Amino acid sequence: MTDCKEGIDCRTAVQQLWDYLDDELTPERMSEVRVHLERCRTCLPHHDYARVFLAALSSARDSDARAPEALRRRVMDSLRAAGLNT
């Protein structure tokens, strides 16, 4: 798959690439994947692609979505009817 000879192999790196980008690996394994990516011409494009994809996905969040005023009133009315006393 690649000419990498040291550290983790490409199979391991690819299997953990999402975890790496999500910052979900141990510090040691984060370092191993990072070192592999710095050296591997096969895996680095996968990493770059995945990073762009995740950035695009994050931007798909509708940050402007706000609960409508009528819903806020409805929630408060139901909470007060259920006993909320503030």
Partner 1 sequence: MAIDTRSSTSAGGAEEAPGGGRSPRPPSPEADVGTKDIPGRLVPEMTASPNTTREGDVRFEAEALPFIDDVYRFALSLTRDAADADDIVQETFLRAYRSWHTFQPGSDARRWLFTITRNVFLRARERERRHVDLEDGDVEAASTFATHGQMVRDGADQILSRVDLAPALRRALDELDEPFKSAVLLVDLEDQSYEAASQILGVPIGTVRSRLFRGRRILQDKLITYARDAGFTTAQRGQRGTKDD
**Chain residues in the site for partner 1 (CB under 8 A):** 11, 14-19, 22, 24, 45-46, 49-50, 52-54, 56-62, 65-68, 71-72, 74-75, 78-79, 81-86
> Judged by CB, which is closer to partner 1: 11, or 41?
11
- Minimum CB separation of residue 47 from partner 1 in Å reads 9
Helix (H, G, I), strand (E, B) or coil at 48: helix
CA distances (Å), origin 68, targets 22, 46, 72, 75, 78: 32, 41, 6, 11, 16
> Judged by CB, which is closer to partner 1: 24, or 38?
24
Residue 47 is which amino acid?
H
> Judged by CB, which is closer to partner 1: 5, or 55?
55
Q: Are 22 and 57 in contact (CB under 8 A)?
A: no
